[in-house]
Structure 1
Amino acid sequence: MHLLLVEDDAMLADAVCQGALQNAWQIDHVADAAGARLVLLDHAYAAVLLDIGLPGESGLTVLKAMRSRYDITPVLILTARGQLSERILGLDAGADDYLVKPFQLDELWARARAVVRRSEGRMVPVHTYGDIQLDRSKRVVTRAGAPVALSAHEYRTLAALMERPGHIFTRDHLEDMVYGGSSAIESNTIAVFVHQLRRKLGEHVITTVHGRGYMLGKVRG
């Protein structure tokens, strides 16, 4: 199991990382929201252990960015805020579970295993357009049954478009979906990803609606 820990308390982070290694799990650690958004764009994790009280931005911004781009990776919130209202905010933002500090590491691992097990049983939609199929659970795209290799950014661009065929997405909206709203990442422009998707999936799969944005399929009328 490969985990991501987002935690600014160095002593706690060290203890969690050591515990993960003792359980023969891989774990990456970042200390702030900006770092979390960066690694989540390019890596797939079995679960995210997310502190809410991060320096600068709240951990909730990381969680909201994940869910806004349809990232269903299970998230276990770690928080020193035990108030019911704070827990509700996290769960409403898309968290799978929460653990109030201080906690025992054995409980942390038990809850991590539980959220991963639950996520494995979720029904994740498979989107189809013509002979193109996108399976969110496996993060796999096929064309006429053959796998198509896409970069992480290309995959997220296609996933957004396939969510609503025929809907026109503005460039800014797609950039938010692809980059999770992170200003720390310099965009290569959505036009580049659209060009690559057309090359791999067919020239007429994605339509440019001049002055408005992009859509999956052809403009009617």
Structure 2
Amino acid sequence: MSDTKDKKEDKKTHHPPFDGDDFEMWMERIMLKLQRKGLWEYCESEVTEPGESKEADHSKWLTESQRTREYLYDGMSDKIMKTVKYESTPCRIMERLKRRFVGKTYFKYAEEEVKLRQLRLYVNGNMSDHLGEVRRLMERISLLGKPLDDYLKPAFLMRSLPPEYDNVVEVTRRRMQTTHQTTSSWSRHLSSHTIDGKVARLKARWRLRR
């Protein structure tokens, strides 16, 4: 049933295969497509292969990894496919393409990184909008070049907050020191509704202490 639905969705929006031009646009489309299918993580980083003793997990990893490769190959021309077909994982395929074509978008990558470094939330600013912009810039940077690591993501987020949020920053910093934050967990933390709830609770506690 889901496969039939996927095929119908794919037929609705047909785009020419990537042939070396407009890499940024192709990356945007393939990212959205794979995110919708729950497979983008295989392109973002190397997903560790489960041991064969965990039969169900290993079978799932194998199936999803192969599906991701198929979607990538379907989205590129034979000429481009020949240059990446020997890469062992979807992540390595994507890294190979980035190394080859990201030079054409380097200035856009640098521009987005500057925007992220300069981004600040005003005292009376909208937290949801701010978090959405932080996440958008991080995703753009990852799309155009090298993804931010798990330490830079929270660092950029915390430095973008005004002094009024120092208590939130301190709590977050302490949590970072005691727990290892993975890329996927920070993606969840950067969802507006999740952080809005945490910020609201922390601000409420802070007011009570005052």
User: What TM bracket, shorter-length normalisation?
Assistant: under 0.3
| Structure number with higher strand proportion | 1
Q: In terms of Rg, which structure is larger?
A: 2
Instruction: Give TM-score, length-normalised by structure 1.
Output: 0.23
Question: RCO higher in 1 or 2 (8 Å CA, sep ≥ 6)?
Answer: 2
